[in-house]
Amino acid sequence: MDCDFALLTPPAHVIAATMATSAGERNVPRGSLLRRSPAPCDGVAVEVLSTAGWYTVPNPAAPGDRGCVPAAALRPLGAEAFVALRDAPGLVAGELLAAAPTCEASTVRFDDRAVPLPSLAALRAITPESLARVESVRSTYTALFGPIGLHQTPWADEGYVGLPLPDVYDTARVEAEVAREGLDTPARREKVLVAAGPGYAHFWGADAAWSDIWARPETIIAVLRTAAGWAKACADAGGSEAQCRLQIGDLAWYDDVKPDPLGHKDHREGRCVDLRLFRTDGSAYEAWWNRPDDRSGAAAYDAVRTTAFLRWTAENVGITEGFFNDPAVLAAVPWLKPLAGHDDHVHVCLDADG
């Protein structure tokens, strides 16, 4: 039986459609899996089956919500396969299920797998092109660090791949980090780490959750190579795991609206990354080259390790452009340039072809 599924694929925005539900107006993110229904509607009547969890939108729709969406925002399923983003009855996180599902009374069949209808909320459709991008990142991660699941390598609908984050902190872990670091004001709290991988961690800052982990797949691969190689080089030079860890902020925005709100155009191109400065004390908090830690008043910035990192990365991975404002580091790294707003982080564009 035809499932009459469709995907929301708008040309430019993360919020693909807004629809009225029994619980009020809800925003449906792009990439959501929908099922058409015959109900009368000014547009197309649909039921939400699953949403792309890495897209953060206000008042998000949830599986089971029903309403009307514009016909122009819908695309029929084609050659998409499906990835299980989490465990659910009949599903194991990371599984890849075949395309062309068929519907039965209470299940959806993917080849020889019958999945209960409520479990579709754990699935996300993936095109062959997106799957190839994800697999290129996943194979690199596996070679450097060990296996990682498909559900831990996010992808965006405009072609970018997300930074693999196998350790996403739950609320208790985030609160423990807040307490450990003494993040006692809203401005400090927003700088907490929220996820990690081997040799690197991610913080949101003032950006929407998960909105800034995206880049071209070759750039993500270069970030992973940097994290792996620098961790060894830094440890060999006497640095601790905490002192050597890359703290990653902005990569690129997950939307293809231009200009992207993360700053200069280099981010929009998906080739560059913002990294916090290294610290002498191993704290997971920002540092500034030109002022002390705003919690303790103590000096925290490690100019020696920051310089060593830039030199190592340029020699071993490749950097096509970089911005930072410390005059001492600028003198030691001739290709680095000063730029307003770069006192608390280094912006580097990695040579993804190197």
Residues 277 and 330 in one domain: yes
Residues 152 and 297 in one domain: yes
Helices (H), the chain: 128-145, 171-181, 186-189, 217-236, 241-244, 265-268, 303-316, 327-332
Residues 234 and 157 in one domain: yes
pLDDT reported for residue 208: 85
- Strands 200-203 and 246-248, by their bridges, are parallel
* Both structure tokens of 15: 């919020």
d(CA 127, CA 29): 17
Residue that is last in its domain, among 75, 94, 126 = 126
- Contact, 306 vs 326, CB < 8 A? yes
% of the chain at pLDDT higher than 70: 95
Count of structural domains within the chain = 2
Residues 161 and 59 in one domain: no
Residues 86 and 180 in one domain: no
Residues 137 and 72 in one domain: no
CA 234 to chain centre: 25
Residue that is last in its domain, among 102, 126, 150 = 126
> What is the tens place of the pLDDT at every residue in 94-106?
999 987 888 888 8
Residue that is last in its domain, among 126, 149, 184 = 126
Mean pLDDT of 299-319: 96
pLDDT reported for residue 257: 63
Residues 88 and 137 in one domain: no
pTM attached to this predicted model: 0.94
Residues 320 and 221 in one domain: yes
Q: Is the dihedral of CA 246, 275, 238, 299 positive or negative?
A: negative
322: domain CATH number is: 3.30.1380
| Residue 53 structural domain | 5-126
Give the angle subtended at the CA of 221 by the CAs of 218 and 224, to the nearest 5°: 155
Nearest CA to 339 among 329, 324, 350, 349? 324
Any idea which of 37-46, 302-311, 332-341 has the lowest mean pLDDT? 37-46
Residues 167 and 63 in one domain: no
- Strands 81-84 and 123-126, by their bridges, are antiparallel
Any idea which of 103-107, 272-276, 312-316, 319-323 has the lowest mean pLDDT? 103-107
pLDDT at 254 over 90: no
Mean pLDDT of the chain: 91
Residues 53 and 164 in one domain: no
CA 212 to chain centre: 6
Residues 197 and 88 in one domain: no
Nearest CA to 326 among 310, 311, 344, 313? 344
Residues 36 and 184 in one domain: no
- Greater confidence (103 vs 193) lies with 193
